[in-house]
Every structure is written in structure tokens, then in C-alpha cells.
Amino acid sequence: MKKLPNEFLNIMKSMLKEEYVNFLKSYDESPYIGIRINELKCDLKKIRNEFNIKKTMFCKEGYYILDNDVKLGMHPLHHAGAFYVQEPSASAAVSILNPVKGEKILDLCAAPGGKSTQIASMLKGSGLLWSNEVVKNRTQILLSNIERMGVRNSVISSCRPEILCSKLNGFFDKVLVDAPCSGEGMFRKDPEAIKYWSREHVKMCAVRQLAVLNNAAKAVKAGGTIVYSTCTFSPDENEKVIEKFLIENPEFSLENIDKNFGRSAFSKYGLTDGNKALRIFPMDGGEGHFIAKLRCNTDNRSTVKKYIYKSMRNIKDAYELFESIFSIKLYGNIERIQNTYFILPNDLPDISGLGVIRAGVKLGEQKGSRIEPSHALFMSARFNELNNCINFDCNSSEIYAFLKGKEIEIDCCEKGYVGVSVDSIVTGFGKYADGRLKNKYPKGLRNN
């Protein structure tokens, strides 16, 4: 068994009582490995053809991977954004958030992007997803995952919660606060997390979590909901944070969570109606989560100004490039920022001063007299939306060569930019001429 801090074990023993023995036994077992199917791009049949999987109870797209030796990150379907590798119970919070088509949703602590991409999948290309990560150097992995999963209707920012939520007050239908925590629920999966555990760290996390949650309260509209989650077992970071939040924000109420997974949280740590919140332990099929759902019962009227889309003049070439690649109508508003073109989502709020890293989809960059399309543009596409797209079998030598950055000899398409797909899921593009496809797959994403 992994060596765990004695103080941590004493707290868990007091919490779990007769179940403590089973909790300890779980540390002799392997951590759960899971994936979540990205319904923006893929269906269950394609995944079943490639992996030995078993359904989880935490979300309808979630599955346990039963083969521990599968290199998921190098698989062509992973490159294509067909699935997201995710600890199974990590999907539970978004299930409880329950995004609905057309809603505006804020993921306040978003990196690396597992929960954001799950929200995007449930929004099905409608509404708006705003993914914020205060630690700026973590936004690149967030951006990469948003692009890989083919999300079109997102904004990615790196902004302090107090600034973001104040400027976007009352704007969002729902807010997810997957708060930074002491990570006790990751001890089985990541033994390194054990080294950083201390009671002082737990208490510091609790202070920060309450501050983030208090800021989130400003961003949700009247009647809207906040879902608060952590991947830790500590009552200080879970029940006690929610209890303090409800005292400081009496206009919010704790909502009942009606799900067929996990177990009720504990009222003994000061949280009135603790049975309305939810906990997940390793004995419940996941590494460890706490989830609470809060409803805003005040008249929180938004004063957020709408984004003013810039003039459509002088971007004729960008429209022509889109139309040469896609067979569908433009799904947003093209704007040029310096030498880069973006397809901005509809119904944006004013984004000035909010540390926006990316809004919408990067269309391409001006290179002299022409525009070079971006990898993100093709990743946002579905196979049947492209004018020219070549398809390779998931286990073909061609797709593995493409993912290593190699040119491919082929003679089946028109000259110019061509989408490359695996099992009809777009995973990049190349430029075709004279029987050869010049590879445009980004170097940082290639398999070794």
C-alpha cells in the first residue's frame, strides 16, 4: 500500500467509520482508467471497435478502460478528438450541472479542459462556453484540448475570478467551480500528490475555494445554478466551504442532487442538509469527488454589454478560404486581429480586459498575399462538412505516418488544402499536389 500521512488517515478513519478498512484496501488496487466519448465528433460504435470498455455510472458518455496497457494518448482516435482521457468520477460534476443547448456556461477553473470539453459536448455547438484558467501557463493545454475536441462556441481566458465575475455579472445560466484543492482523491492515481499534502495546505485551499465560490456567485443569473466540486475528501474543503458560502450568501440555496451514483455528503461537519450534496470514494467506482449544487434565488440582473463585432470589410479572402474548405455556411463572425483571422462565436459579451486567450476558432494567418488555414479550423470540422477530405482506417499505416508528420503518397482528391480523417473523424489537414499530401499536422502534437 502507498505510504499515506498519518494525520490524513486519522481524518479518514473518523469520517468513514466501519468503511475505513475498505477505503484502505482500495490503495492496494490500481486506479480507475476512463475515457469520455466526445459526441461532437464520435459515437460509441467507433470506440467499441477499438477498446475493451465498460460503462460508468457518472455520465452517459463515460467508460472504464479495461486494458491497462493501452497507450491512449498516442491512439489516432485520441488525436482526432473522439474521446477525452478522464478519471471516471471526474465527469460527475458536469452531469449534475446538466448543460442544456443554448445556455451560456462558465467553467471558472477550467484547465486542463476535461470538464469544459464535456460541457461543450452537451451544448452541441449552441450557446456559449467560457473556460477560464487563472494560471496562464496552464491555458495552453486547455486551448489544445478545446481545439482537439472540435469546440467552436468557446472563449478561453486567463483572468482573476474577481475581475471576470464582476465584469460578467449575472451573464451565465450556469457556473462550474471545479476548485483547486489538496487533491486527496488523486493519491491512488498520482503518488506525487501525497508529498504535497499537509493540514496547512488543506486549510489554505479552503480559504481560496471559498473566495472563488463567492466570486462565482456574481456571474450567475437569477434562477441560475452553480456546481461546486473538488477531487478531495477533506471536510474543510467540501462541506465546510459550502456551509460558509451559504452563510455569506443567503440568497443561494443548496439543491438536492438526484443521481444514481456516489453517496450523500456529511451533515456532521456543519453543513445543514448535507445529504443534498454528494461524495464519491474509491469504493463507489471513482477516485474521489465532492459535488454540491447551488441555486441563485435573487434578482441578479446582468449589466454586461454585448461585443461589438468589427466591420466585415477587408476580409473577403478569409470568407473565400472558408468557402473553399467547407460545404456549410459560416458558423460565426470572421474578424482579423493583426495577421490572424478568427471565427468568433455569436452572442459574445464585451471581452475587453478579461485576459482572453482565444475566442472561437482560429481560421488562419496572413502569409504575404495568401491566408494559411489553421489546424484548429480543420479540427472544428465534421467529415461531411469539408469539400475535400481523405479518410483512413484507424489502424492504417497512412494515419500513423500522418500523425508522425510524414508526407503521404495518394491520388484521390483535388489540388489544394485537404482534410485528413480517421474513421471519418477529422484529425488535421495537408496540402495536396501531384500525388503527394504535404503534412500540416503541428509538430508539438505528433507521435514520436
Q: Is the pLDDT of residue 339 over 80?
A: yes
Give, rounded to a whole angstrom, the gap between the first and last alpha carbons of the chain: 34
How confident is the prediction for the chain on average, in pLDDT?
A: 94
Q: Is the pLDDT of residue 299 over 90?
A: no
- The verdict on 312 and 397 lying in the same domain is no
Query: To the nearest whole percent, how much of the chain has pLDDT over 90?
Result: 88
Q: Is the pLDDT of residue 270 over 90?
A: no
- The verdict on 279 and 403 lying in the same domain is no
Q: Is the pLDDT of residue 301 over 80?
A: no
Q: Which of 155-159, 306-310, 356-360 has the lowest mean pLDDT?
A: 306-310
- The verdict on 235 and 124 lying in the same domain is yes
Give the model's pLDDT for residue 303: 85
- The verdict on 248 and 343 lying in the same domain is no
- The verdict on 316 and 283 lying in the same domain is no
445 in a domain, yes or no?
Answer: yes
Q: Are 331 and 343 in contact (CB under 8 A)?
A: yes
Q: Which of 109-118, 363-372, 374-383, 405-414 has the lowest mean pLDDT?
A: 405-414
Q: Is the pLDDT of residue 443 over 70?
A: yes
Name, in order, each residue with C-beta under 8 angstroms of 409's C-beta and a sequence gap of 6 or more: 435, 436, 437
Q: How far apart are CA 389 and CA 424, in angstroms?
A: 9
344 in a domain, yes or no?
Answer: yes
Task: Out of 231, 389, 394, 413, pick the active-site residue.
Answer: 231
- The verdict on 161 and 24 lying in the same domain is yes
Angle between helices 239-248 and 199-219 (to 10 degrees): 40
Q: Is the pLDDT of residue 177 over 90?
A: yes
278 in a domain, yes or no?
Answer: yes
Rounded to two decimals, the pTM is: 0.96
**What is the mean pLDDT of the segment spanning 248-272?**
92
Give the model's pLDDT for residue 298: 87
- The verdict on 267 and 315 lying in the same domain is no
Give the model's pLDDT for residue 383: 95
Q: Is the pLDDT of residue 412 over 80?
A: no
CA 95 to chain centroid: 13
- The verdict on 116 and 236 lying in the same domain is yes
Nearest to 236 by CA among 186, 185, 202: 202
**What is the mean pLDDT of the segment spanning 411-433?**
92
**What is the mean pLDDT of the segment spanning 13-38?**
95
Domain end position, chosen among 360, 375, 390? 375
Q: Which of 162-166, 322-326, 349-353, 413-417 has the lowest mean pLDDT?
A: 413-417
Q: How far apart are CA 357 and CA 176, in angstroms?
A: 19
Other Cβ atoms less than 10 A from the Cβ of 207: the count is 12
Is 231 catalytic? The answer is yes
Domain end position, chosen among 296, 315, 343? 296
Q: Are 307 and 346 in contact (CB under 8 A)?
A: no
Give the model's pLDDT for residue 38: 98
Q: Which of 64-73, 244-253, 344-353 has the lowest mean pLDDT?
A: 64-73
- The verdict on 318 and 291 lying in the same domain is no
C-alpha triplet 398, 386, 307: angle, nearest 5°:
125
**What is the mean pLDDT of the segment spanning 221-228?**
96
15 in a domain, yes or no?
Answer: yes
CATH number at residue 404: 2.30.130.60
CA pseudo-torsion sign 128, 133, 136, 140:
negative
Strand order in the sheet with 83-85: 53-55, 62-65, 34-37, 83-85
329 in a domain, yes or no?
Answer: yes
Give the model's pLDDT for residue 78: 97
Q: Which of 4-8, 67-71, 93-97, 287-291 has the lowest mean pLDDT?
A: 67-71
Angular region, 372: left φ>0, alpha ψ -120 to 50, beta rest: beta
For 63-102, what is each residue's pLDDT tens digit? 999 987 788 999 999 999 999 999 999 999 999 999 999 9
Q: Is the pLDDT of residue 309 over 70?
A: yes
CATH number at residue 238: 3.40.50.150
Give the model's pLDDT for residue 1: 61
- The verdict on 268 and 392 lying in the same domain is no
Other Cβ atoms less than 10 A from the Cβ of 395: the count is 12
Domain end position, chosen among 296, 315, 349? 296
- The verdict on 321 and 433 lying in the same domain is no
Q: Are strands 128-132 and 104-107 parallel, antiparallel or unpaired?
A: parallel
For 34-67, what is each residue's pLDDT tens digit? 999 999 999 998 999 999 999 999 999 999 999 8
Give the model's pLDDT for residue 93: 98
72 in a domain, yes or no?
Answer: yes
Nearest to 81 by CA among 129, 33, 122, 117: 117
232 in a domain, yes or no?
Answer: yes
- Of the CA atoms within 13 Å of residue 279, those in its CB half-sphere come to 21
1 in a domain, yes or no?
Answer: no
How many structural domains compose the chain?
3
Q: Is the pLDDT of residue 238 over 80?
A: yes
- The verdict on 214 and 344 lying in the same domain is no
- Residue-number span of the structural domain to which 436 is assigned: 381-448
